[in-house]
Amino acid sequence: MRWTPGYSSDDVEDRRDEGPASAGIGAGGIGILFWLFSRFGLPGVLVGGAVLFFLSGGLGTGSEESRPRERQPAGAVQGNDPDKQAKEFVSFVLDDVQKSWTERFAQQGQRYPRARLVLFNRSISSACGLGQRAMGPFYCPGDQKVYIDLSFYQELRQRFGAPGDFAQAYVIAHEIGHHVQHLLGTDRQVQNAPRRARQGEDSASVRLELQADCYAGMWAQSTERRNLLEAGDIDEALTAAAAIGDDRLQREATGAVQPETWTHGSSAERVRWFKRGYEAGTFEACDTFGAGRL
């Protein structure tokens, strides 16, 4: 991906020097899916190894009493920062993704309130509860922030076999996709779904995640129009999408696939919906909730 080294974003909070957070009253796991599980009574359906799902809305149990908290002062890692370039890249991608959504919302006569991105080390307190490194990147609708421990990108390369800067960009674009869903009220599709439709391969939670993949694809299309893509970038994103399908992660963790417990969709579905957003580039094409088949 063509990007600007040395980039800095006003929407990035560097809280890596705060030290690990500890769970307090009402603190639990994080993310849009389990924030919805807690707030609206959706059942948690974790399987072995699920805590390592990464493009999640997060994995855990949020607090019904969670509310946006005051922004803590942004810290900065002192001295030689081994993740300096990764921070710059994440900052560039965050701003580019949000610039794209700002323009798209404006085309429809709407305002796009920007999300913020928080860098943390090992664990972090958020409006949704306690976030931990093992959860992977997550979006918290309670404070409208994306959270990421930069060491995840090493996990992405080594454990999931998805190297490349555009695989990393896909992670950010997916999480901002959850922010877009929150702004549009799409998360209420999960809230209002009948209980029997809230888990499994055809569930509302799976449709929510696949739509975030599709929105990531919409952003990818915009980068192509603006000549930011390099050879192999889209393949990097597709490799990442395939690497974290529910079926693949379950097979690796337990040797068995249990579609009735899926929360994110299969590898093939995640690839399909990213490609759909990339090729069509429209909200209509990303209507996973109206799709007969995923």
pLDDT tens across 216-239, in order? Answer: 999 999 999 999 999 999 999 999
| Cβ atoms within 10 Å of 275's Cβ, excluding its own | 18
Alpha helix stretches (DSSP H) within the chain: 32-40, 84-107, 152-158, 165-184, 187-192, 204-225, 233-243, 246-254, 267-280
Rg (CA), the chain: 17
Label residue 188 by pLDDT band (50, 70, 90).
confident
CA–CA separation, 107 and 26 (whole Å)? 40
Please list, residue by residue across 76-88, b when 16 or more beta carbons sit within 10 angstroms of its beta carbon and e when fewer do. ebeeeeebeebbb
* 24-38, 147-161, 238-252: the lowest-pLDDT one: 24-38
Give the mean pLDDT of 9-34: 66
Q: Tell me the average pLDDT of the chain.
A: 83
Lowest mean pLDDT among 18-32, 94-108, 168-182, 200-214: 18-32
Q: What is the pTM of this model?
A: 0.83
Average pLDDT, stretch 275-283? 97
pLDDT confidence of residue 234:
98
> What residue ranges do the domains of the chain occupy?
12-290
Phi, psi of 4 (to 5 degrees): -105, 105
